[in-house]
């Protein structure tokens, strides 16, 4: 229940939408998170979704959760060059060690002007 998979690279043009995908294996997930990491920096929490929700929108960010397929996505509308970073998906699992997060390997988003 600890496998979180993400594609490693995504390139888009400035102004387009970006969609970063993530799959997880444990159906006992409680919360699912998206973090952003800029070069040489720590992880910045972008958004999260509770496992009983289907969608969450926060300004340019839309999170979609398909529990049946264990698929999570992050859509960034009107992508800007400042959105270039590594994006990590993470899940917390009910019944696991409290507070334990499991991370994917991260998706490197490159935005071309």
Partner 1 sequence: DGGITQSPKYLFRKEGQNVTLSCEQNLNHDAMYWYRQDPGQGLRLIYYSQIVNDFQKGDIAEGYSVSREKKESFPLTVTSAQKNPTAFYLCASSEMASGLKETQYFGPGTRLLVL
Residues within the interface to partner 1 (CB under 8 A):
4, 8, 30-31, 33, 35, 40-45, 48, 50, 88, 92, 97-101, 103-106
CA–CA gap between residue 14 and residue 80 (Å, rounded): 5
- Per the CB < 8 A criterion, the answer to whether 72 and 22 are in contact is yes
Which lies closer to partner 1 via its Cβ, residue 12 or residue 31? 31
Shortest gap between Cβ of 61 and partner 1 (angstroms)? 16
CA–CA gap between residue 2 and residue 97 (Å, rounded): 12
Which lies closer to partner 1 via its Cβ, residue 17 or residue 110? 110
Shortest gap between Cβ of 77 and partner 1 (angstroms)? 24
- Per the CB < 8 A criterion, the answer to whether 44 and 60 are in contact is no
Which lies closer to partner 1 via its Cβ, residue 33 or residue 109? 33
Shortest gap between Cβ of 108 and partner 1 (angstroms)? 9
- Per the CB < 8 A criterion, the answer to whether 76 and 17 are in contact is yes
């Amino acid at each position: 229940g600890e496998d979180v998979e993400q594609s490693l690279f995504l390139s888009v043009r400035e102004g387009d939408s970006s969609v970063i995908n993530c799959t997880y294996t444990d159906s006992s997930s409680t919360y699912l998170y998206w973090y952003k990491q800029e070069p040489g920096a720590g992880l910045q929490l972008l958004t999260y979704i509770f496992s009983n929700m289907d969608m969450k929108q926060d300004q340019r960010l839309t999170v979609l959760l398909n529990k049946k397929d264990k698929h999570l996505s992050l859509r960034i509308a009107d992508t800007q060059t400042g959105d270039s970073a590594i994006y990590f998906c993470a899940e917390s699992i009910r019944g696991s060690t409290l507070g334990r997060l499991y991370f994917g390997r991260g998706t490197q988003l490159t935005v071309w002007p």
